[in-house]
Structure 1
Amino acid sequence: MLHLRVVCPAERTEDVLRVLRAAPGATHLVLLRGAALDPVGDVVEAEIAREATDEVLSELCRLGVDHSGGITLETIDTALSDAADRAEEAAPGEGADAVVWEELIARTGEESRLSVTFQAFLTIACLLAAVGAVTNSAITVVGAMVVGPEFGPLAAVAVGLVGRRWDLVRRAAFALVAGFLLATGVTAAATVLAEGVGLFGPGVLDQGAQQVDFVFQVGPFSLIVAMLAGAAGMLAMTSAKSAALVGVFISVTTVPAAGFAAVAAVLGRWDLCGRSLAQLVVNMVGIVLAAWLVLVLRRSGSSVGGRGSRGGRATARREDNGRPLAKG
């Protein structure tokens, strides 16, 4: 279940209570009159079954509470309550199958930003991939896959395309392009330095790389694996099963391809560099395409964000101000 906290003006409190009382998956309703100081108003709290959350958020946002007050969501790990059990049974569908669109938009919106942390992880991942390339170590390449943070912006592109949130698409695309350019640039510089101090010779890639040739071997299975990974990743994000994302990271060769391309370019192996970049593009397109398809199928006729065009613009303003609506 999810814990919902609503801060609203006193004149909207009864409307909020009416929405929550009518929701089949809501329980543990609490009202704290005058408890909110900024903005001034009342605080209403409740526990809501995940499968009923999206409709409740839509109703609350139609009341304008997201503008005049605030709405916060938090995940509840354990709820020992007969009332909570009844609420989950009354809510339609299964919690594992429910998509909370506001939660998804807030999560992908946060992960789509070009932050110092994102760039650091991406650069380290590319450097690991470069080491794997020159040492012919598949294990090191797999380590680079796990470290790579690129699935967040790729998922944000898919969410933005489905919800027509072009601000999210632009921000995520910028994070990917700028992030990979900087990471591969640092990797190329590190390769030049390593070659200069004699860590490896200029013909290191000519000696065979049987263990890591999957990085630059582009073929039909590259797209198939990327699409399967993208579908699994988006299912994991929309069903709150984040542990499955690790499997996505070690399935596709986005970061390893970028790292291998940097090494190959420095060593003058432009054929391998071109094939690695092609692998990178194929994997990224496949992930976004599959993630988009999963979201389209899971939307089931409901609008992304559950708030229509007005709510979408409001969410965009909040994200641009660094204050996403919901945290899952």
Structure 2
Amino acid sequence: MLHLRLITPSDRTDAVVRLIEGTVGTAHLAVLPGAARNPVGDIVLVDVAREAGDELISGLCDLEIDKSGSIAVENIDLSLSKRAEKAEYDAPGEGVDAVLWEQLAEATHEESTLSVTYLAFITLATMIAACGVVLDNAILVVGAMAVGPEFGPLAGLSTALVRLRPRLALRSLVALLVGFAVAMAVTVLFSLLMDGLGLFTEARLEGDRPNTAFVYAPDAFSFVVAVLAGIAGTLSLTSAKSGLLVGVAISVTTVPAASNAAVALSYGDTAQTIGSTNQLLLNLLGITVAGTLTLLTQKYLWAKQRQRQRQRQR
């Protein structure tokens, strides 16, 4: 269940209440006339089944409550109510399959913003991965993959393509391009420093690395895994199962490929630099394509489900 807290102008409260009462899957409606002070208006509280949430939020946006008032949405962890059970039973579909498009757009907007924290995480992840590829240490590589924040902008790009939001697309591209450029540039300097300290050597980079050689040798499996991870990551976002993103992060060779390219560049190894860069681009493309197609499929299937539900109600 979701809990909605609305601030509505007094002249639109009746329309909001009618919309809520006409939405299948709502419960616990409460109206507090004149309770809001900033902005001035009424407060409307309601619980709604997750699978009916997107329809209700879209209707509220059509009434321009997001512009003239406020729409706040919270997840309800526990609701002991027969009315809530009935609302979930009456609502079409399953809550885990529902996509809250406004919530997704807001989440990906935040995750795809180029910030100091984002740059710090992606740079640290790339530097950790650099240690992993030079030492041929799979544990360090996996750890770096888990730290990397690059799935946020990739999900933002997929969402922007489906929702036709050019600003989100531009924001996501800037975060990806600038983020990896800064991370790789810093890792080149880090590699030179480590070489000067005798901790990195060209012989280690060029030697036999059975655990990490895959990061500069892209093949068909690289794209296949990226596509599968892109599907899993998108589903984890839309179903609110964000914990699964860690598994997605350690499935795709983005950060390790960037780190290997940076270390190879510091030693002038053109072959490994190009191979790692190709691996990086292939994975980024695979995740973006998979994420976009997954969202389009979810959008289509959910629209068909709503259509069947309306036909049954008639």
Q: Equivalent residue for 2:23?
A: 23
Q: Deviations over 1:184-239 (max 9, x none)?
A: 11111011111112113232212211111121120000000000000000011111
Q: Deviations over 1:36-77 (max 9, x none)?
A: 111100000111100001111111111111111011111111
Q: Secondary structure at the match of 1:300?
A: helix
Following superposition, the deviation at residue 124 of structure 1 comes to 0.7
Whole-Å separation in 1 of the counterparts to 2:220 and 2:93: 37
Q: Does 1:244 align with 2:244?
A: yes
Following superposition, the deviation at residue 22 of structure 1 comes to 1.2
**Residue identity matched to 1:118:** Y
Q: Does 1:274 align with 2:274?
A: yes
Q: Equivalent residue for 1:264?
A: 264
Whole-Å separation in 1 of the counterparts to 2:100 and 2:207: 51
Q: Percent identity?
A: 49
Whole-Å separation in 1 of the counterparts to 2:282 and 2:95: 33
Runs of 4+ in 1 over 4 A off after TM superposition: none
Whole-Å separation in 2 of the counterparts to 1:53 and 1:152: 23
Q: Secondary structure at the match of 2:46?
A: strand
Q: Equivalent residue for 2:5?
A: 5
Q: Equivalent residue for 1:220?
A: 220
Whole-Å separation in 2 of the counterparts to 1:61 and 1:174: 29
**Residue identity matched to 1:286:** G
Q: Equivalent residue for 1:313?
A: none
Aligned residues: 303
Asked if the contact 2:7/2:41 (under 8 Å) is kept, the reply is: yes
Whole-Å separation in 1 of the counterparts to 2:222 and 2:301: 32
Q: Secondary structure at the match of 1:203?
A: helix
Q: Equivalent residue for 2:307?
A: none
**Residue identity matched to 1:260:** N
Following superposition, the deviation at residue 282 of structure 1 comes to 0.1
1:95–1:302 CA distance, 2 compared to 1 (3 A) = closer
Q: Does 1:163 align with 2:163?
A: yes
Q: Equivalent residue for 1:294?
A: 294
Whole-Å separation in 2 of the counterparts to 1:239 and 1:231: 12
Q: Does 1:61 align with 2:61?
A: yes
Q: Equivalent residue for 1:70?
A: 70
Q: Equivalent residue for 1:190?
A: 190
The structure with higher relative contact order (CA 8 Å, sep 6+) is 1
242-251 or 273-282, which moves further after superposition?
Answer: 242-251
**Residue identity matched to 1:12:** R
What does residue range 113-124 of structure 1 map to in structure 2 within 5 Å?
A: 113-124=113-124
* TM-score normalised by structure 1 residue count: 0.91
Whole-Å separation in 2 of the counterparts to 1:66 and 1:302: 24
Q: Equivalent residue for 1:209?
A: 209
Q: Secondary structure at the match of 2:7?
A: strand
Q: Does 1:142 align with 2:142?
A: yes
Whole-Å separation in 2 of the counterparts to 1:167 and 1:118: 18
Q: Equivalent residue for 1:50?
A: 50
Whole-Å separation in 1 of the counterparts to 2:300 and 2:207: 53
Q: Deviations over 1:73-100 (max 9, x none)?
A: 1111111111110100010000000001
Whole-Å separation in 2 of the counterparts to 1:145 and 1:64: 42
Following superposition, the deviation at residue 301 of structure 1 comes to 7.2
Q: Secondary structure at the match of 2:259?
A: helix
Q: Equivalent residue for 1:79?
A: 79
Asked if the contact 2:215/2:257 (under 8 Å) is kept, the reply is: yes
Q: Does 1:151 align with 2:147?
A: no
Q: Secondary structure at the match of 2:92?
A: coil
5+ residue gaps in structure 1? 304-328
Q: Equivalent residue for 1:41?
A: 41
* TM-score normalised by structure 2 residue count: 0.95
Whole-Å separation in 2 of the counterparts to 1:161 and 1:42: 36
